[in-house]
Structure 1
Amino acid sequence: MVDLEQYLPILIFLFIAVGLSALFVFLPMGVSRLTGAHKPNAEKNSEYECGFPAFEDSRSQFDVKFYLVAISFLLFDLEASFLFPWAVSLQFTGWEGWIGMMIFLGILAVGLAYEWKMGALDWE
């Protein structure tokens, strides 16, 4: 027979965790309703993520510069994440690992110079 008293601390912990989670979610919403902070107007409902108003026609042209910069950031950020494991394992990889990473960083530098030259990083 299983002694269920062993699970009482876990059950208490779960009740406290669910209660605090609900408190952190619903308390700010309730306070904002009571204090009058929830008064939508045209300024609050304006676009804030992409920087341009929504368009009606799906075939209309818009500037993709924001997306190019975001994709470039993601690419270079992801590639920079390879530097930490390389630095940690450099004592095992030796000169071959160091030369390989210098080639990798050279390719990144050429890519960055190309983006810079083509004007992908210029914001107008």
Structure 2
Amino acid sequence: MSMSTSTEVVAHHWAFAIFLIVAIGLCCLMLIGGWFLGGRARARHKNTPFESGIDSVGTARLRLSAKFYLVAMFFVIFDVEALYLFAWSTSIRESGWIGFVEAAIFILVLLAGLVYLVRIGALDWTPVRSRRELVNPENSNSNRQQ
């Protein structure tokens, strides 16, 4: 019986196995072909970037502000929230009122987190000087006139 079961599995999945073998073979063939057929330049300017005939100035490495990473993390957090809510919405009839209350608590906790982020200024991108001008516009005008 185990012989017929393994034969069934092989017969059932042979097309997928052939597909994987052919796909991996084609990838290897293209990589090896590019290595053999590709040109090789060993000049001094080989590793310098070419930007439409203009010599590059400076470095390509940029230091990004940590705020960009914070926005990316917030996006991931709230995107996962949307994923959970989508899964909940597809099963709303089966979950009933208990599921609705749980989803409401989930949303309220995330909204509390969002309010906390706004209150501590994690989403505020304006410089400190501009914030002071927004809070006390009279003081900033008198400081400029002096």
TM range (shorter): 0.5 to 0.7
Q: Structure 1 length normalisation: TM-score?
A: 0.56
Name the structure where helix makes up a greater proportion of residues. 2
Q: How does 1:38-117 map to 2 (within 5 A)?
A: 39-41=46-48, 46-47=60-61, 51-52=62-63, 63-117=65-119
Distance apart, 1:18 and its partner CA: 2.4
Report the Cα distance in structure 1 between the residues aligned to 2:121 and 2:34, rounded to whole angstroms: 44
Tell me the alpha carbon deviations over residues 9-34 of structure 1, each in whole angstroms, 9 at most, x when there is no partner: 76865552223212454566778x54
**CA distance change for structure 1 residues 14 and 108 in 2, over 3 Å: closer, same or farther?**
closer
- In structure 2, relative to structure 1, the CA distance for the partners of 1:40 and 1:122 (3 Å cut) is farther
Structure 1 residues 78 and 19: alpha-carbon distance in aligned structure 2, compared to 1, 3 A threshold:
same
Consecutive unaligned residues in structure 2, runs of 5 or more:
1-9, 50-55, 127-146
Select which of 11, 17, 23 maps to 1:17: 23
Q: Percent identity?
A: 37
TM-score (ref. length: structure 2): 0.50
Bigger Rg, which one: 2
Query: Relative contact order (alpha carbons < 8 A, sep ≥ 6): 1 or 2 greater?
Result: 1
CA RMSD of aligned residues (A): 3.8
Structure-2 change in CA distance of 1:89 and 1:118 (3 Å): same
Distance 1:94 1:46 in 2: 55
Between Structure 1 and Structure 2, how many residues are aligned? 103
Residue number in structure 2 paired with 1:57: none
Partner of 2:141: none
Which structure 1 segments of 5+ residues have no match? 1-5, 53-61
